[in-house]
Amino acid sequence: MTSATMTALLQHSGYEEEKLQRVAEKLPCREVQAGMLLSLMGQPHQHSYPSIFIYGHRASGKSHVMQVLLKELQLPHATVSCVECVSVALLFEQVLLSFFGCDAASLLPRSPSLSDFVRIYRQQCSLSPAKETRYIVMEKAELLRDTDANLLPALLRLQELVEDNVTVILLSEIVWDKFRPNTGCFEPLLLHFPDYSKGELHQILSQDKHPSYSAEFYSSYINILLGVFYSVCRDLRELRHLAALNFSKFCEPLAEGKVKETDTHKLWRNIEPHLKKAMQTVYLREVSSLQWEQMQQMEEKETGTVRGLSAHTHVELPYYSKFLLIAAYLASYNPARTDKRFFLKHHGKIRKTNFLKKNEKTSNHLLGPKPFPLDRLLAIFYSVVDSRVAPTASIFSQISSLVTLQLLTQVSHDDQLDAPKYKCAVSMDFICAISRTVNFDIVKYLYDFL
Amino acid sequence: MSKRKGKDAHMPVGECITQLQKVLRERFCCQKLPEQPEAVEAQQKHLLELLKRTAVHGESNSVLIVGPRGAGKTMLLKCVLRDLLEEKEVQKNLLQVHLNGLLQTDDRIALKEITRQLNLENVVGDKVFGSFAENLAFLLEALKKGDRSSSRPVLFVLDEFDLFAHHKNQTLLYNLFDVSQSAQAPIAVVGVTCRLDVLELLEKRVKSRFSHRQIHLLSSLTLPQYVERVQTQLSLPGDFPDEKFAEDWNASVKTLCEDKSVEEVFQRHFNSSKDYRSMHMLLLLCLSRVSVSKPTIKPADVLEASRICFTDAKANMLHGLSILELCLIIAMKHLNDVYEGEPFNLQMVHNEFKKFLHRKTSSMYNFEQPVIMKAFEHLQQLELIRPVDGSSAKVQREYQLMRLMLDHSQIMEALQKYPQCPTDVKQWAMSAFG
């Protein structure tokens, strides 16, 4: 897009041409939205709509567009992140501070109510009336729903309450329908920021090219990156992070002199498995970015040798704890009626057809673990452990320490001493690894896998 | 148009547009009061008469203004107050107290606000002293001491009246209505609310002291009246600086409202709601497209504004999902179809997705479980799926039961609009039994 068309979209009589030009340069692929916002905001001294609600996916430029517009055009504004405002007092303070200076903010009492805020705002506003529209930008506005029930409706009609030319802009990932209070409120103007298309992502990502390589080279790299990740992730920030992390690997064959810049196919062959690996590791934060960079340095070793976060979950447990956990897993995932068949030595004849009558709609490994009583756990435990174990205090304390380790969860209330119920909270992989260490074939005992 | 040079009354087009924007924005955004409110003459007369009796003759009254949101309750009240205050005697005499249920969330705060707005003696500077009980006793004392002939009448306006009914014991309402019933200082209590069942919220003792006078603002607007209202809302007033421009503008508005396609748009808006607020929103969106290079509103602008108003937000969000997330949603849809709305967990969704992948030869979507979990959590963050029970701490993430917050038609529509949707995914979504 040429700069001429960019400014054409971003034309507004209330602002200087030069400033608008600068705004347009900073907002690639968002000119339409910025232009629309500007035209809704109107000229600085005109009134603006009391509240605007902007929604769109993560990293679709909501905050960025607002910040660039307000900063470059030098409009009076307060930006508040609702994550930071754990109490409303912080929110009020920040708004007053950015509009009227710290004297006004210090007027707030210790635990201010909305009434105090509006009173002080009105008072200050009569001292210094607005020449231009004031903007309050609330980021992550979905958190406003969890605060005081009056806050959101009051913010939406703040213009009316304080009788000042003020506009509240709410930014969120969640649609407005989920915000509306019971008795209704002043409806804000809804504005959607659409997601970036693949082409737009490509255009934006290609902007931060490496100075020592050509633009086409970087662009082809982005192309390959998008080819791998686009079906999973459209988050611009995530993609940009991945692009920065893996670029050095992409350039490696070039530095070694094996290929030329134009030899796209060979470069692709080199990088593609690497990126696929990145999806399973660094994209999931299994390994940190730092570890990933270190892994790229030591190229002779295979990249998989560095163990990810999930690999560290294999904890060392005492011998009986392992069996207790195995017994808990079996109790959670097997129906109780099959226990006789699995764990009794002389269980008599059970007809196979009768036994394998799987009338449940799905297996237990789909539905999740079922709760079981302590007696059943101990019965299975004695059956799977070969040696004789006395039911000492240490066995019972091991059960409760498994609960503290969050490998088991107690289902019934804590105060129940007799017949407590538990659930097993470990995954299949985990329990298989545990049973391998004690030479126990768990799959043979699982009803779902018969 | 900019070439036109004429009499002194003519301003350059840019200036005219700025003025136009200023006038109309005041009307749409900050709800500037009109000269005369439309279609509420009877209510206006009633309320004015009532308040005048308090202000002039010292009669105590209470009244509730009830109507849906955006029906012009505040506008009616403000217009009446404006008319009321035109009289010299009233202006000198009447004290006003404005309270809002959103701001004064309990009686203590409300009481301080009343004391402050009445400028009573225990106010020093801007601070109010004393405990709640002291404040209340003081205020009641002050009101009791007065009588019909000598003390100044007080007008209490309680905006969002229904929220005051949620205060503890409804002490404030009880005392206000009690004063208005007994021979003390003359007060008028005007409640503004959008709840039609507001009287059911009041306690018996409070209810019995209320005069049961209600003013209902229920609009009985027809479509031609609606279009007429749009036209008056868009028209420029007679005192616009450039008369020629105002005339041209008003003429263009008139032709716009007669346009067939525009009429259809208005019909749709009329069918969805008749209030001022949504109309103002539509008109502001139209107005924002007026600029120096395009000094009139075209039918296309109205269509575009209406499109923005009526767009389905969830469909918009679905458009931005990645293909993996979309596949998960289709799998959830199939689970919903097969098990008739039973909740599901990640394992079931993954299983359903795997069934789809098994039937295909190429495995371009063969993702690992953690990648799928990440996509699933993203859907949860967007609140497109919601956990069945809030307490999630005790259950493993993959076994937490969820519900889909989308319906069948939304998914299918989003699928049609999805950019470069693979055909097999589309077919999978179409097939009744996944």
Which tens digits make up the pLDDT trace of A108-117? 888 899 999 9
pLDDT for position A120: 93
pLDDT for position A169: 96
Site from B75, B193, B288 to mutate, A interface, most A CB atoms within 10 angstroms = B288
**The pLDDT of residue B347 is above 80:** yes
pLDDT for position B283: 94
Q: What are phi and psi of B155, to 5 degrees?
A: -110, 120
pLDDT for position A353: 55
Can you tell me the distance from the alpha carbon of B176 to that of B190, in angstroms, rounded to the nearest whole number? 11
Of B104, B293, B323, the CB nearest to A231: B323
**The pLDDT of residue B219 is above 90:** no
Task: List chain B residues with CB under 8 Å of A48.
Answer: 25, 29
**The pLDDT of residue A350 is above 70:** no
More confident residue, B128 or A88: A88
pLDDT for position A1: 41
Rounded alpha-carbon distances, angstroms, from residue A104 to A154, A337, A429: 20, 72, 60
What token pair was written down for A97?
A: 């501070």
Q: Which of A77-112 are b and which e, b meaning 16 or more Cβ less than 10 Å from the residue's Cβ?
A: bbbbbbeebeebbebbbbbbbbbbeeebbebbeeeb
- B-proximal residues of A, 296-355, CB under 8 Å: 310
**The pLDDT of residue A4 is above 50:** no
pLDDT band with cut points at 50, 70 and 90 for residue B145: confident
- In B, minimum Cα distance to A159 occurs at B30
Of A157, A173, A366, the CB nearest to B381: A173
Can you tell me the distance from the alpha carbon of A290 to that of A296, in angstroms, rounded to the nearest whole number? 10
Residue A322: what residue type? K
Can you tell me the distance from the alpha carbon of A133 to that of A40, in angstroms, rounded to the nearest whole number? 12
Between helices B323-338 and B423-430, what is the axis angle to 10°?
Answer: 20
Q: Chain centroid to CA A411: how far?
A: 28
Yes or no, beta carbons of A183 and B162 under 8 Å apart: yes
pLDDT for position A203: 93
Yes or no, beta carbons of A192 and B311 under 8 Å apart: yes
What token pair was written down for B6?
A: 């004429």
* Rg for chain B, CA atoms, rounded: 30
Provide the percentage of residues in chain A whose pLDDT is more than 90. Answer: 47
pLDDT digit string, tens, across residues B103-118: 999 998 998 898 888 8
The mean pLDDT value for A344-354 works out to 63
Is the Cβ–Cβ distance between A196 and A29 less than 8 Å?
yes
User: A39-53, B321-335, B363-377 — which is least confidently predicted?
Assistant: B363-377
pLDDT for position A310: 67
Rounded alpha-carbon distances, angstroms, from residue A373 to A343, A401, A448: 17, 17, 21
Can you tell me the distance from the alpha carbon of A144 to that of A123, in angstroms, rounded to the nearest whole number? 26
Q: Which of A162, A38, A231 is nearest to B371 (CA)?
A: A231
Task: List chain A residues with CB under 8 Å of B396.
Answer: 368-369, 425, 427
The mean pLDDT value for B285-296 works out to 88
pLDDT for position B6: 43
Question: Cβ of A48 under 8 Å from any chain B Cβ?
Answer: yes
pLDDT for position B83: 92
> What's A112's DSSP letter?
-
What token pair was written down for A449?
A: 């896998």
DSSP letters for A157-174: THHHHHTSSEEEEEEESS
Rounded alpha-carbon distances, angstroms, from residue A372 to A317, A364, A400, A447: 22, 14, 15, 16
Can you tell me the distance from the alpha carbon of A352 to that of A225, in angstroms, rounded to the nearest whole number? 53
pLDDT band with cut points at 50, 70 and 90 for residue A6: very low
**The pLDDT of residue A358 is above 60:** no
Q: Residue A167: CB partners within 8 Å, gap ≥ 6?
A: A41, A48, A49, A50, A51, A52, A133, A134, A135, A136, A159
User: Strand A372-373 to strand A421-424: parallel, antiparallel, or no bridges (unpaired)?
Assistant: antiparallel
pLDDT digit string, tens, across residues A283-342: 888 888 888 888 877 765 555 556 666 666 677 889 999 999 999 999 999 988 888 888
pLDDT for position B151: 79
Task: List chain B residues with CB under 8 Å of A150.
Answer: 102-103, 105, 163
Task: List chain A residues with CB under 8 Å of B321.
Answer: 234
pLDDT band with cut points at 50, 70 and 90 for residue B396: confident
**The pLDDT of residue B331 is above 80:** yes
What token pair was written down for A285?
A: 């934060």
User: A144-148, A222-226, B135-139, B338-342 — which is least confidently predicted?
Assistant: B135-139
Residue matched to tokens 């296309």: B300
Yes or no, beta carbons of B103 and A232 under 8 Å apart: no
Of A46, A56, A231, the CB nearest to B324: A231
Quote helix, strand, coil % in chain A, to nearest 5.
Answer: 55, 10, 40
Is the Cβ–Cβ distance between A33 and A193 less than 8 Å?
yes
pLDDT band with cut points at 50, 70 and 90 for residue A377: very high
Task: List chain A residues with CB under 8 Å of B420.
Answer: 198
Is the Cβ–Cβ distance between B404 and B333 less than 8 Å?
yes
pLDDT digit string, tens, across residues A277-290: 888 888 888 888 88
**The pLDDT of residue A95 is above 90:** yes
**The pLDDT of residue A8 is above 60:** no
Residue B395: what residue type? V
Shortest Cα–Cα distance, B139 to chain A (Å): 19
The mean pLDDT value for B68-74 works out to 91
Can you tell me the distance from the alpha carbon of B434 to that of B431, in angstroms, rounded to the nearest whole number? 6
More confident residue, A71 or A414: A71
Q: Residue A262: CB partners within 8 Å, gap ≥ 6?
A: none
pLDDT for position A378: 93
Yes or no, beta carbons of A46 and B368 under 8 Å apart: no
Q: Residue A380: CB partners within 8 Å, gap ≥ 6?
A: A327, A330, A331, A339, A343
**The pLDDT of residue B225 is above 50:** yes
pLDDT for position B432: 64
**The pLDDT of residue A33 is above 70:** yes
Of B104, B194, B339, the CB nearest to A115: B104
pLDDT band with cut points at 50, 70 and 90 for residue A171: very high
- B-proximal residues of A, 115-174, CB under 8 Å: 115, 118-119, 123, 148, 150, 153-154, 157, 159-161, 165, 173-174
Residue B370: what residue type? P
Task: List chain A residues with CB under 8 Å of B195.
Answer: 183
> What's A301's DSSP letter?
S
ipTM score assigned to the predicted complex: 0.92
pLDDT digit string, tens, across residues B159-218: 999 999 999 999 999 989 988 888 778 889 999 999 999 999 999 999 999 999 999 998
pLDDT for position A167: 95
Question: Cβ of A427 under 8 Å from any chain B Cβ?
Answer: yes
Is the Cβ–Cβ distance between B84 and B48 less than 8 Å?
yes
DSSP letters for B285-309: HHHTT-BTTB-S--HHHHHHHHHHH
**The pLDDT of residue A7 is above 60:** no
Task: List chain A residues with CB under 8 Å of B351.
Answer: 362, 366
Q: What are phi and psi of B136, to 5 degrees?
A: -65, -45
- In B, minimum Cα distance to A363 occurs at B348
Can you tell me the distance from the alpha carbon of A332 to that of A373, in angstroms, rounded to the nearest whole number? 10
The mean pLDDT value for A369-392 works out to 90
